Structure 1
């Protein structure tokens, strides 16, 4: 019987990326799992959606990542594929704050596994702005970390196709050229500018992809106590951590449920955050 440590050793895996995500994903997977990462230049992951919206994303975030991985398996005939997908949106609880959710999906056809690593972070420079001239363009660029972080310039925020979009702007000369050209062709005298969120042009996002990859590794190494299948992970959070003053249940997590996708075994773990009583400031009775 194979141990978890030997399930992936010396096996080939396709990493579905054209945006240099291998820089952070490959070292972790190769060191932790012993697999050999392969990049295919003929895999166009942009066909599954672009942040600049000239190509609509295929389905949900997870569905798009899954489609990338499945396409990689299809064109190579390999058994393991990894793909990632990011999303950017206003934070669900913090006004005026942007958030970045990264997922890294791991599919193993031989072992019938699908495991997803995740990272949710407010560490992002995701931003956009209408500009009227070079001065406003450079003001925006400075605010979002240019030139270490790339930029996109387009006629408007909903481009008809890629011909209206200038991507990968990471030098002053490229920025000046793109802004002048777009403004020259703009009927409104304005252009739309935004951060280029592709991984190779956004080191902040690349760090979040690295964190999602490490989360993936922790899930792969969490094996079911019953059948030893990797991916024994949290599928449910149960609220009700008691208040430290009145002991009434709060909205904080009291327990989590781990579940195996293969055999269905479930296990409850109390106090996953390491605290057994909630701060009274989190209690709707003590702090209404």
Structure 2
């Protein structure tokens, strides 16, 4: 069931200052008929920065929700979208960085909150301390500069300050900044890192787009009881049998779906469309 009429022709406030509307707005317009607008002078940096000048006020979901609520408060509208990203070692493969993106939709009229998610290892998130321009260039090429922006900074502990330049996307600016900061740095070393703000990072922008698709999938999944969008998977129960020995494996046998509105729960066996696990996933066949 598609719940497009619930949102059709409504105005949604997108709480961003980093051009996320480029990937979010067209999807919401096409799939739901939502008209998206970005409030002017809405400073999302007050909710945290990737360079840690301002700490995030809470969890990723809490912060995205806070952005959306603030946008509604400022505009007086009833529908808001906000997104939040994080970068950390992958939960299953700790030596690989991952990008987790969430996109939250808050609808005050229908009292609905739906969250789209994407966890991806497709990210250029990286940083390095360099001592010369050649090292800086090698790093820049590795992370996709100039299509992906860079941040350069150094810290002067004696003076208790640091200097930072963000959003570097031109080679001449990159060279000038590296040379200048190497001269000014007390130890002739500077920090260089990827700029993870969406408008400077097309790889991250693609993950935001994927999280928006996940949001749309959840919106189009409606509760069998109250028919409200957002009937989503909330729990995975392991036990999928091994196709060789039929012993239980850690893979999902049953998924629990629940409505956040009325609380209705439903179990679904083999939610991923497979009835047996590969023996490589079996603790008995592959100890």
For the aligned pair, the TM-score class normalised by the smaller chain equals over 0.9
Whole-angstrom CA distance in 1 between matches of 2:54 and 2:225: 44
Corresponding position of 1:249? 248
Q: For each residue in 1:125-176, what CA deviation from the matched residue of structure 2 results, as whole angstroms up to 9, or x when unmatched?
A: 00000011111111110010000000000115x9x99972210000011112
Q: CA offset at residue 52 of structure 1?
A: 1.1
Show the 5 A alignment for 1:75-86.
75-86=74-85
Contact 1:54 1:162 in 2 (8 A): no
Show the 5 A alignment for 1:1-288.
4-156=3-155, 164-288=163-287
Contact 1:87 1:101 in 2 (8 A): yes
Whole-angstrom CA distance in 1 between matches of 2:97 and 2:227: 39
Contact 1:152 1:166 in 2 (8 A): yes
Whole-angstrom CA distance in 2 between matches of 1:240 and 1:63: 32
Contact 2:154 2:162 in 1 (8 A): no
Contact 1:88 1:99 in 2 (8 A): yes
Whole-angstrom CA distance in 2 between matches of 1:93 and 1:135: 35
Which runs of structure 1 show a deviation greater than 4 angstroms over 4 or more consecutive aligned residues?
A: 160-163
Whole-angstrom CA distance in 1 between matches of 2:73 and 2:122: 35
Q: CA offset at residue 42 of structure 1?
A: 1.5
Whole-angstrom CA distance in 1 between matches of 2:187 and 2:236: 50
What value does the CA root-mean-square deviation take over the aligned residues? 1.8
Whole-angstrom CA distance in 2 between matches of 1:167 and 1:228: 46
Aligned length: 285
Contact 2:195 2:201 in 1 (8 A): yes
Whole-angstrom CA distance in 2 between matches of 1:57 and 1:285: 44
Change in Cα spacing, 1:101 to 1:162, as seen in structure 2 (3 Å) is farther
Change in Cα spacing, 1:163 to 1:29, as seen in structure 2 (3 Å) is farther
Whole-angstrom CA distance in 1 between matches of 2:173 and 2:102: 31
Whole-angstrom CA distance in 1 between matches of 2:251 and 2:107: 35
Contact 1:55 1:161 in 2 (8 A): no
Whole-angstrom CA distance in 2 between matches of 1:172 and 1:161: 30
Q: For each residue in 1:167-210, what CA deviation from the matched residue of structure 2 results, as whole angstroms up to 9, or x when unmatched?
A: 00000111122212322221121011000011111100000000
Give 5+ residue unaligned stretches, structure 1: none
Contact 1:61 1:85 in 2 (8 A): yes
Change in Cα spacing, 1:197 to 1:190, as seen in structure 2 (3 Å) is same
Whole-angstrom CA distance in 2 between matches of 1:171 and 1:146: 9
